[in-house]
Amino acid sequence: DVKVTQSSRYLVKRTGEKVFLECVQDMDHENMFWYRQDPGLGLRLIYFSYDVKMKEKGDIPEGYSVSREKKERFSLILESASTNQTSMYLCASSLVSSGKYEQYFGPGTRLTVT
Amino acid sequence: QQQVKQSPQSLIVQKGGISIINCAYENTAFDYFPWYQQFPGKGPALLIAIRPDVSEKKEGRFTISFNKSAKQFSLHIMDSQPGDSATYFCAASQISSGSARQLTFGSGTQLTVLP
């Protein structure tokens, strides 16, 4: 089974702090994604990566950056956390092969910025 | 701009009933339409998906109906069970950079199936 793990289930940070959210997948997937999930808004794509050191902006990249130094690991960075970044953050991965479009999600990190 | 609109926001159904969730999209570049199911404390998981060259796909009690001309698709859950109580997200996918498939999600429907 594909396993996507996220470093923390719950995280509380102060405004202005630098925050790192880590995601690791164990299935050698090329693609990795970071979403935030908010009630009534669904899942919104922040950034994705289709290869090591490659990254693309999603729909809401402002205030975030990402890092992918190894294929299995994709990090989301909040350079200076703000209260409007309080949310559930979900990491996902997927395989690049014909017909295989499924994204596998981690359990999420609930981040509270105070 | 919400590219995939989902309704209703919440749905309560009696056990054995039919649950219906609707989605509409705008971008004609979308070419793959999955539904994800999310239980509390878990990440979403793929439930069923359809491509626009077919009008219906059925897997067990779950059916997707797809209307390409109207740019609408829906999830039907037949014989709904309390274990189906979850949040359901429709999504639409298009090819993106490096062959990555980007998903655009609807806002979600919280389904409650009463025993």
pLDDT tens digits in sequence order for chain B, 115 residues long: 568 999 999 999 999 999 999 999 999 989 899 999 999 999 999 999 999 899 999 999 999 999 999 999 999 999 999 999 999 999 999 877 666 778 999 999 999 999 9
Contact A102 B46 (CB under 8 A): yes
- Residue A80 burial (C-beta neighbours within 10 Å; 0-12, 13-18, 19+): exposed
> Please, are residues B3 and B94 in contact by the beta-carbon 8 Å criterion?
no
Query: Is A60 at the interface with chain B, CB within 8 A?
Result: no
Q: What is the CA radius of gyration of chain A?
A: 13
- Give the C-alpha separation, A60 to A35, whole Å: 9
Q: Is pLDDT at A1 greater than 80 in this prediction?
A: no
Min Cα separation A40/chain B (Å): 5
What does the pLDDT read at residue B94?
A: 83
Q: Indicate yes or no: CB of B108 within 8 angstroms of CB of A50.
A: no
pLDDT one-digit tens code per residue, A3-43 = 999 999 999 999 999 999 999 999 888 899 999 999 989 99
Q: How confident is the model at residue A102 (pLDDT cuts 50, 70, 90)?
A: confident
CB–CB contact B43 A96 (8 Å): no
Backbone angles phi, psi at B13, to 5 degrees: -135, 145
Residues 6+ apart with CB under 8 A from A46: A34, A35, A36, A58, A59, A60, A61, A64, A66, A76
Q: Measured between CA atoms, how close is A82 to chain B, in angstroms?
A: 23
